[in-house]
Chains A and B, each alone.
Chain A
Amino acid sequence: MEREVRWYSYRFVSGTRRRERLVSRLAPYLLGLPAIVWLAVFFLIPLALMLVKALQECNPATGVCVMTWHWSSLSDAWTNSSTIIFRSVTYAAIATVIDLVLSFPIAYWIAFYAGRRKNFFLIMLLVPFFVSFVIRTVIWKFLLSSDGLVVHSLQALHLVSSDYQILGTTGAVIAGLAYNFLPFTALPLYVSLERLNPALLEASHDLYAGRITTFRRVVLPLCAPGIFAAFLLTFIPAFGDYVNQQVLGGFGNTMVGTVIQNLFLVNNDFSAGSALSVIVMGISLIGIVIYGRLLGSKSIGDFV
């Protein structure tokens, strides 16, 4: 087929062979142009602007920023917020692990046992997430409040003391993160499990591997890219999230997203806000690269 096309182009594009070769060499880039422009306009330029803002000094009254090259804004942002950054990483990591543990059996079951009703169960998994993110979280706030359903029931059963509270605790924040980002874990896992050829499991069985060994030596390695994608898709947004913490948490569990939001909207300190954003972005990127080297797979693109 390929040869036929070549022949076709030799015959009818009567220009020189060199020009033809140039076009074919440029073709992938031309085809990629929309994506490249998109990335430049919506990712690279804003990223550069963010760094520039971080190095400027801004007047909140006029919005005028003057370039002062104060790299110290980055180190200041780090010293002021390193504890909160570590905390955010920890919360996001715990929430992601919870999500992986919870959604693996779900994805496994849907992929292998749901049969004709796969799509139905997938939709069932997603339906709660058709409601807006913030509204879902606020409803959790009502459920978990001191005179809400959960705390009241636990108190009625004398399982907890009368001054027991869920809202404002670290547990509430992590639970909120885990709940809100669950589909981002479940779907990539499902995709990777769904692709797994059941014949391989049978083969493993025939070769006298037990259930656990099959899971460990066959299933896990084959869906590693799915786990990798699931981890990234859950961890990154959870790391920067500020809604869950603001709605469900208190001051002792502030996450870095809240601090950035306050710097921009309450203090109108654009420079410090940008500096902290640069740091968060940097940490995420470095983390992803290291993680990708250690665990990643070339086929991650299939899942993201």
Chain B
Amino acid sequence: MSEFPENIDPAIMRGLLSPRLSRRQVLQAGAVAGAASLLFPSAAGAAVGDAAWWKGKTKTGLLNFANWPYYIDSYNGRHPSLDYLKTSKGITTTYSEVIEDNPTFYQQIRPSLQSGSSIGYDIIVMTDNAVGLRYLLNGNYLTPLDDAALVNFKKYASTSAKAVYANSAKRLIPWQSGMTSLAYNSSKVSTNTSSLKMAFDTSSSNVAKLRGRVGMLSDPIELGNLALLALGKTPATSTPADWQAAATKLRQQRDSGLVKAYYGNDIISELKQGNLWVGQVYSGDVFQARIGGNKNLKLMNPTEGVLLWTDNMCIPKGAEHPRDAMTAIDFFYDPAVAAVLAYYVNYITPVPTAKAKLTSPAAGWQTTTMTNLKKDIGVAASLIAAAPEVFPTSAYKLKTYYAFKTQGEIDLWNEKFAGIPTGS
């Protein structure tokens, strides 16, 4: 019961990940495919990503990997797992921490994708709740992965990771997952410690205690979904009427004086510095802050539930080194590698057996790396293995985000929530 997402309704997972095509998009796709088949009448019968296409893709020994900052093991300015990829598989990785947020990154790569050229990266990592990933799936910009190359994945991936792969028509494979919840400073706050009410209760007594000490995320997706949870709604099945209620709730919270400001990834440093006492956070950041010495910073496990998101690896169309990317994706599902990643990044690994590998590491590379990393991290691997934030127990009620069905819904959502952080 230790690994995550088993307690997620598979129907929700499916709904979350299967791209929904409008009738018009289907017609457009058909027209494009038709035009393409006229232009290239005999592309050897191989469509991008099918078995015949993959057969023609060979190893180049090079890989360009785009990821978010602080999202891979680091030691002495190097990434041990990528060094291991080089020694064990002969692939040299150029690792770029260029993804700061989903919408901006999508707009950066879109022109290249549309022109059919390479975006310069063979693996990118995008969040499942992000509109940008939906555009990538709907726009058919991702390469279906080579099923035959997924050896570790088939053996070690969690049920939910396999569901992500299956429901995305083989185009997504989880990198790490995480929870969005509240974190609070237990030396300053002692009421409502197991309810989102802590940040949303606008009664005068709560406001008097927490005036200007609450921080929320400015991302409209995170903001809206957490407010829905606070209202007692299930975000995945919420309606526009619920969104309106959630937006009203957020405005009340803001205008009561509770909220100090709306933040991006920097909210964790505000909590660490003591500017904030309560904040909407990503689970891994809080866990890292806590083992880094901020002992009073606690991740809340609210009765209303926590939001679960998954960052997925995918191979964009036009990637120059697809075979190497494929090898690398499967490489990260080696439990020894997954354990090292879990030890360092403290998010939820899609490899449940990594937990056992944390306490009894494999001889050789993993043992050496973990010994080195321990010098930086400072805590024993067994502590990570036992942490509910990294290996959530069934005590966490994991909820998925609302999955947009149309552009109209995205616009409506933004209309409701995007103005809140700017005071409108």
Contact = CB atoms under 8 A, between A and B. Distances in A.
Contacts of A259: 422
Interface in A32-73: 59-63
B2 to A, nearest CB: 36
A284 interface: no
A214 interface: no
Contacts of A63: 107, 110-111, 114
Given A61-B135, A268-B103, A251 B418 contact: no
Given A145-B275, A168-B261, A251-B262, A262 B423 contact: no
A249 B422 CA distance: 11
A246 to B, nearest CB: 9
B139 A265 contact: no
B275 A146 contact: yes
A252 B418 contact: no
Contact of B259 (A147, A165, A251, A254): A251
B230 to A, nearest CB: 18
Nearest to A142: B273
B104 A265 contact: yes
Contact of B423 (A168, A252, A265, A268): A252
A93 to B, nearest CB: 19
A81 B131 CA distance: 25
Given A250-B260, A250-B261, A146 B273 contact: yes
B78 to A, nearest CB: 27
Question: Which label, helix, strand, loop or mixed, suits the secondary structure of the B interface?
Answer: helix
A88 to B, nearest CB: 12
A148 B272 CA distance: 12
Interface residues on B, range: 35 or more
Residue from the set A63, A165, A249, A266 with the largest chain B CB neighbour count within 10 Å: A266
B56 to A, nearest CB: 29
A84 B423 contact: yes
Name which of B218, B254, B259, B275 has the most chain A CB atoms within 10 A of its CB.
Answer: B275
A254 B421 CA distance: 8
A163 B273 contact: no
A168 B212 contact: yes
B239 interface: no
Interface string A219-262: 00000000000000000000000000000011111100011001
B220 interface: yes
A266 B422 CA distance: 12
Interface string B248-276: 00000010000111100000000001110
A167 B275 contact: yes
A269 interface: yes
Contacts of B330: none
A266 to B, nearest CB: 6
Contact of A251 (B211, B410, B422): B422
Contacts of A119: none
B94 interface: no
Contact of B261 (A62, A146, A251): A251
Nearest to A80: B424
Contacts of B111: 63
A145 B213 CA distance: 12
Interface string B301-332: 00000000000000000000000000000000
Nearest to A251: B423
Given A63-B110, A165-B212, A266-B418, 6 more contacts: A60-B131, A80-B419, A251-B420, A254-B422, A265-B101, A266-B220
Interface of A: 59-63, 80-81, 83-84, 145-148, 163, 165, 167-168, 249-254, 258-259, 262, 265-269
10 contacts: A61-B139, A62-B114, A63-B114, A167-B275, A251-B420, A254-B421, A266-B103, A266-B218, A266-B220, A268-B106
